[in-house]
Amino acid sequence: MRFRFKQLRYLSVLGFLFFLVSCSFMGKKNGCPNGDVVFVGDIGDIEIVEVSCIPKDGILRVLVEIKNDDSKDRSLAYRFDWFDEEGVVLGRDEAWKTVYLYPKEVKTIRGTAPNWLATDAKFLIKK
Amino acid sequence: MFQRGYVLRVAILIVFSMVLGCSKSVRYGDSKGIETVSIEFGSTDLQKIAEEMTRSMLVSQLVVTGNRPLMTVQDVKNLTSEYIDTRAITDSIRTELARSGVVRFVVDEEAMAQQVSELERQQDGEYYNQEVIAERGKMLGAAYRLEGSIRSIVKQNSDVKDVYYKVNLQVWEIQTGILEWSDETDIRKIRD
């Protein structure tokens, strides 16, 4: 019985560590119902620091703070998917856009919804 | 000494492999993907400009008031040294703004001849029910006009070519001449 309690303690510590690791990996989300971040393939040492959704004047705006943890310059492609309150994707696919990051640089990528129906967004990033 | 049949087979094989080597396959690509076939202005640049400018206008005071202003589109002047179909830029911006429902567009200069022709056809024709034809003098004039320019700076040496594009768009109130909205975006492409 005592052994089981010890196991439980280990498990809860492990669970807490896993929670911390996953939080630091995905970054913080502010104001986004889901605010998902999707890595399309391996993008290397890129960290999503924070995702913020700011509805203003009826239009949803998303700020994604990304950091290049690599020691080399990185050029990445990104785009947003926009969803209405029922989770249906809005409009056509956005074009992939490029972002250039110097080593250790932190940059904020801004996205604006295509119309006032958008209540949630997904951020996609790839090499 | 090789046999004649053997030589013929080798020759056919060589010709066949040459034909295969020369043929190029065709495939569909991602129309929204990053295009880097050449350094010239391309689809990725067009899409980036249209999207950034439209989204910028969407959050401007010009449209957030909800009045759905009437706008007309004038051409984006191409001040670069290369050929760019700038009409594609304004068409994309107009389409996305119209789809968002925050702005209404009236007939622009380019489409005016067709508009007038259709009006006259209805007015003068004896084939139309005169009670429901489009009347002259009912068209609405735009309150705002959208115009802009694209410029480039090109630097080149024997190893590197660097092209910098700058796109500027403005919305002017026609009656007062006030600049109601303006934004710019830039693109830098390097070939080395």
Contacts of B188 (CB under 8 A, 6+ apart): B162, B163, B164, B165
Unique residue bearing structure tokens 């995702």: A51
ipTM of the modeled complex: 0.74
Q: Contact at 8 Å (CB) between A48 and A37?
A: yes
CATH number of the domain at B68, please.
3.40.50.10610
Looking at the fold, whether B91 and B164 belong to one and the same domain comes out as yes
Q: Are residues B57 and B88 in the same domain?
A: yes
Instruction: Tell me the domain boundaries of chain A.
Output: 28-126
Question: A67 burial class (0-12, 13-18, 19+ CB within 10 angstroms)?
Answer: middle
**Full domain range(s) for residue B150:** 40-106+141-192
A126 and chain B: CB distance < 8 Å anywhere?
no
Query: B155 with B175, same domain?
Result: yes
DSSP secondary structure letters along chain B = ---HHHHHHHHHHHHHHHHHHH--------TTS---SSSSS-HHHHHHHHHHHHHHHHTSHHHHTS---EEEEEEEEE-SSS---HHHHHHHHHHHHHHHTS-EE---HHHHHHHHHHHHHHHH-SSS-TTSSPPTT-PPPPSEEEEEEEEEEEEE-SS-EEEEEEEEEEEEETTT--EEEEEEEEEEEEE-
Confidence of residue A91 (pLDDT cuts 50, 70, 90): confident
The contacts of residue B92 (CB under 8 Å, 6+ apart) are B46, B47, B50, B54
Q: Tens place of pLDDT for every residue, chain B, 192 residues?
A: 556 777 778 778 777 766 666 668 999 988 889 888 999 999 999 999 999 999 999 889 888 777 899 999 998 999 999 999 999 999 999 998 898 888 999 999 889 999 999 999 998 878 899 889 999 999 999 999 999 999 999 999 999 999 999 999 999 999 999 999 999 999 999 998
Size of interface A-B (CB pairs under 8 A): 48
Same domain, B45 and B84: yes
Residues B101 and B154 occupy one common structural domain: yes
Topology given in CATH for the domain delimited by A28-126: Immunoglobulin-like (2.60.40)
Chain B nearest-CA distance from A29, in A, is 22
pLDDT tens, position by position, A42-71: 888 899 999 998 888 888 999 999 999 999
Identify whether residues B150 and B179 lie together within a single domain.
yes
B101/B114 same-domain check: no
Residues pairing with A81 in the sheet:
A122
Inter-chain contact B34–A93, Cβ cutoff 8 Å? no
Q: Both B95 and B168 in a single domain?
A: yes
| Residue to substitute from A90, A116, A117, A127, interface B, most B β-carbons within 10 A | A116
Residue B175 lies in a domain: yes
Structural domain contains residue B81 = yes
For residues B82 and B124, membership in a common domain is answered with no
Looking at the structure, tell me whether residues B172 and B135 fall in a common domain: no
How many structural domains compose chain B?
Answer: 2
Claim to verify: residue B126 and residue B86 sit in the same structural domain: no
